[in-house]
Structure 1
Amino acid sequence: MSIKNLNNQEAFEALKENSDSVYIDVRSIPEFEAEHPEGAYNIPIMHKGPSGMMPNAEFVQVIEKHFPKEKKLIIGCLRGGRSLQACMVLEQHGYTDLTNVLGGFGGSHDPMTGEVYEGWKDSGLPVSQDDHGKDYESLKE
């Protein structure tokens, strides 16, 4: 199964249309705590360490604990790079319905085409600072 790509508005519509789908924010814990898409789960693919970003060795384990392999997962990060990486890792572990959010929370552009992808926040989509048990510390327990 191939990984789908949606811009933020399309991802928001997909979440509204399919109540079984979930948004997983793979940004770091501090990035998520500052602000995130409303209703998002935070499962970082990387953690900030003293020498830069380090892979989260528990990433797949925490995803598998909470979401079955057939679950529709919409994956976002800050710009789209970490989320695409997360989609590829999850695909290798048998997940079949994966969507990468182009532009992520902060926005980006395609260097090949010049196409601009507005970020979730700048698109005027709902954001939150509350996690209601969807923060990484709660999920990894």
Structure 2
Amino acid sequence: MAQDAFEDIVETFEFLDDWEDRYRHVIDMGKAMDPLAENLRVPATKVEGCASQVWLVPEIDGQGPGAVFRFKGDSDAMIVRGLIAILKALYSGLPVSDVLSVEAQAELARLGLDEHLSSQRSNGLKAMVQRIRLLAEKAAA
């Protein structure tokens, strides 16, 4: 069910044998993202449960279950910015009803993230996925 952009990341990770190279790639993906405007870095967009500062802002095109889900995000930690970029590849462009069907843990496990992130980072990643699901649920209603 993964998006093409996410499949590209999976292929890149398969090509990069060393986890250090994969880690650098994640950071580079985060660096490539546009920063979130300061006026969007507010308590309402902040993701709780992350060790780093993380903000996610939904961008929903349309209404109801068929509305297209996209989001902007940012963090004060480079690796977390990269994780946001991965989540954007996984979710952006899906109908909001499909966002709820994504098995994020299984998809992210394909990248080996579950084996290489600290427990704090893993918990933060789960918190970001939960926020994305919540945003999609609200948009689908």
**TM-score if structure 2 supplies the norm length?**
0.28
- Higher strand fraction (1 or 2): 1
- Higher helix fraction (1 or 2): 2
